[in-house]
Amino acid sequence: MQVQPYSLFSDFDIYLFRSGNHTRLYEKFGSHKVTVDGVSGVYFSVWAPTAAEVSVMGNFNQWNSFSHQLAGRWDQSGIWEGFIPGLDLGEVYKYGIRTNKGLLLEKADPYALCFENAVQAGSIVCTTWYEWQDEDWMKNRAKHNSLESPISVYEMHLGSWMRDPGNPERFLSYGEVADKLVPYLKAMNFTHVEFMPVMEYPFDPSWGYQITGFYAATSRFGSPQELMYLISELHKNNIGVFLDWVPSHFPGDANGLHFFDGSFLYEHEDPRKGFHPDWKSYIFNYGRPEVKSFLISNAIFWLDRYHADGLRVDAVTSMLYLDYSRNEGEWEPNIYGTNVNLEAKQFLQDFNIAAYREFPDVQTIAEESSDFPRLTSPVHEGGIGFGMKWMMGWMHDTLDYFKEDPLARKYHHNKITFTSVYMFNENYMMPLSHDEVVHGKSSLIYKMPGDEWQKFANLRALYVYMFTNPGAKLLFMGDEFAQTREWNFTTSLDWHLLQYPIHKNLQEFVKDLNLLYKSNPALYEQQFSPNGFEWVNADDTDNSIFIYLRKSKKNKQVLMIVLNLTPNTFDYRIGVEKDTKWETILNSDEGKYSGSGVEAVISQQLDEGWDGRENSIIMRLPPLSGVVLNQITHKPSAEIKKRIKKKKKATGKKIKSTDKQTVKTTKRHDS
């Protein structure tokens, strides 16, 4: 059972790898079960250009670091490879890498598809073959993922969404999660789910963001095929899947990528570019072609082998700026004298080009907290090429505003209105993510001021604002029913809260909001276009009232959203277009949502102009509420048309079909 010469690489593969343009290295590197000259075994290949020797160690050779040495390729590519007959799927192995200084390093395979579930885990020879059953979804994915379709995302951490009720220490498997999650998301009307990292990671408190196995589904929850089953079941129920992807850094675990062959191979050798001071982790060398091929191939791998519908790229800001979390003197400007990491910028552009070239119906999403320009513009127009970007400014301003006592909100009015200044600069996704409910920040419900009733009323109003504002939506697990504790990755969500009507009714409200978003083209067809949004009243600072329109293409549907963010009830005058009627289609203050039950009735329709419009209405505004109205074009009846025509002949003047009325706007403080 000696190592035999064999290769999966062509000369063109080597050229693409060394030029940074290979996008499917997972078909070449790693361990692959093959048959050579009629003999079954496993082919191994690994990149270790400065190593003196590379061998395969495992149970099959009692972890001997000398007996099964791979051969270095002749072409100076730094690739070591070979075929070991007799090995099969399930074999646990590591690479024994002898550095040019004589040090022996035991490393996991960077391209391994499976890992042991253990500290300093070894790699496992396995396969990602799966018989998918999501053909209908994949055929229609372009429509589901379109920026002109509703995108409402449920962000979740697989290890803490739900645990085994009989043993809270035990994770649910991918398959067990599928059985519970799929019907739940379907009932809640979410369009997509976003999984926090499912790649292999050793340290639970990292939540998955410190990855050692970039090509392996974490073994905590089962096999690759079980994760594929989960994704396939979601697809069969018309729910898309976004995966968190972390090309920004990696940990320094001894079996991982750090100092892989005794040199700075995957990380940048300059610590000002290669070490992250906050996370104590290592930053990829984005300017090295082979590293770029590794990362871009990894992105394509998850889109290809796991049918992911998009990748949410973590910590993009840390990649783009040379001075991120660094003081003066701790970073070096680029050749133009600025703080932009030009190599990372080029990498992100190349990643987006590759992702959309090979899978034009997916979405790439950037978590980026600065105002880096043109992040979601096409690369050929000078942009970075992402499909969407998290709207971090909206998230912070909105939460800061809603934390304020309603009586003080008039002093912070601009935190809501300022968003409209930049809301169409990028294709934004509005996130209420996991980052906002940890580390002492409190849960969403406890960010809200007031007593229990006011907290829930505020949160419902915030959700109306979120779901009716332009852009895609993202809500972290538990926020749909007002989880009261901060998120804790070691335990299940507090599902028992649903026995209390106020929590259950909030869950029903989010369900109805998702349905509202999915069912009304005015809320999604132009969610990334200024043509889909118009202020009606953005200036009522004293009363903390905001009124705006959302419009579908060609204004086939127009919705009006009225936010009353004080506990007062108003009879309020609102400007509307001539000859229009309005019907209430959602009121967050309804009793079924645990609201006070004030009806959002339109008591009068006036010919008199208001808010720069020809007509106006008088509407009852419930306290701490969001109300959504649908515009109905008013067409006079045949009898009225006949009467108007008769009077026009008699007077020669235009007659309005609505009698003029004078109405005094009143204000009440009875809530």
- Catalytic residues, by residue number, are 314, 367
Beta bridge partners of 163: 171
Task: Map residue 233 onto helix, strand or coil.
Answer: helix
Contact 284, 303 (CB under 8 A): no
Instruction: State the burial class of residue 386 (Cβ atoms within 10 Å of its Cβ: 0-12, 13-18, 19+).
Output: buried
Sign of the dihedral defined by the CA atoms of residues 565, 571, 573, 579, in that order:
positive
Question: What value does the CA radius of gyration of the chain take, rounded to a whole number of Å?
Answer: 29
What DSSP string runs through 185-211? HHHHT-SEEEESP-EE-S-GGGTT-S-
The residues, any chain, with a CB within 8 Å of residue 145's CB and separated by 6 or more, are 151, 240, 309, 310, 361, 362, 363
Length of the chain: 671
In one-letter notation, the amino acid at residue 184 is Y
Question: Please, which residues bridge with residue 559 across strands?
Answer: 550, 630
Closest Cα partner for 512 from 468, 470, 551, 553? 468
Map tokens 């509703």 to a residue. 150
CB atoms within 10 A of CB 228: 22
CA 307/CA 584 separation, integer angstroms: 40
Q: In 529-613, which ranges are E strands?
A: 533-540, 545-551, 558-564, 569-576, 580-587, 602-606
Q: What is the spatial distance between Cα 363 and Cα 308, in angstroms, rounded to a whole number? A: 10
| Paired tokens of 641 | 């048309």
Q: How many CB atoms lie within 10 A of CB 158?
A: 22
Helix %, strand %, coil % of the chain (to 5): 30, 25, 45
373 burial type by CB count under 10 A (0-12 exposed, 13-18 middle, 19+ buried): exposed
Q: The dihedral of CA 85, 88, 94, 95: what is its sign?
A: positive
Q: 630 to each of 24, 28, 513, 545, how far by Cα in Å? A: 49, 56, 14, 19
Q: 82: which 2 tokens?
A: 């070979």
Q: Quickly list H helices, 408-500.
A: 414-417, 419-422, 444-447, 452-468
Q: What CA–CA distance (Å, rounded) separates 146 from 151?
A: 8
Task: Report how far residue 569's alpha carbon sits from residue 550's, in angstroms, rounded to the nearest whole number.
Answer: 24
Full DSSP string of 355-402: HHHH-TT-EEEE---S--TTTTS-GGGTS---SEEE-HHHHHHHHHHH
Which two three-digit tokens encode residue 44?
């191994």
Whether the Cβ atoms of residue 229 and residue 219 lie closer than 8 Å to each other: no
